[in-house]
Amino acid sequence: MSSLHHGHNSPVIVRALGITDYQTTLLAMQHFTANRAIDTVDEIWLTEHPSVYTLGLNRKGVRLPQNNIPLIMVDRGG
């Protein structure tokens, strides 16, 4: 973990998480965001995860290849 400064001396914490599970990390990020206070320091999470397909709000008519890559429904994007 390191700390950077950006903009107007606002700190940013950078977390190097390594390889993580997509859904576990997504839930952790959602929890972090939901529990932030006005003075919570911003964080950047650097991670890599095994291949997944994510389908968001604009998922109509999407055709995915037939393979063993997991499909995860998300609440944003396409």
% of the chain with per-residue pLDDT over 90: 53
Domain ranges, ordered by start, for the chain: 2-73
Q: How far apart are CA 17 and CA 54, in angstroms?
A: 20
Question: Whole-model pTM?
Answer: 0.74
Mark the ranges of the chain whose per-residue pLDDT is less than 70. 1-8, 77-78
Which pLDDT tens digit goes with each residue over 4-24?
A: 555 567 789 999 999 999 999
32 secondary structure, DSSP code: H
Q: Which residues contact 74 (CB under 8 A, 6 or more apart)?
A: 26, 54, 55, 56
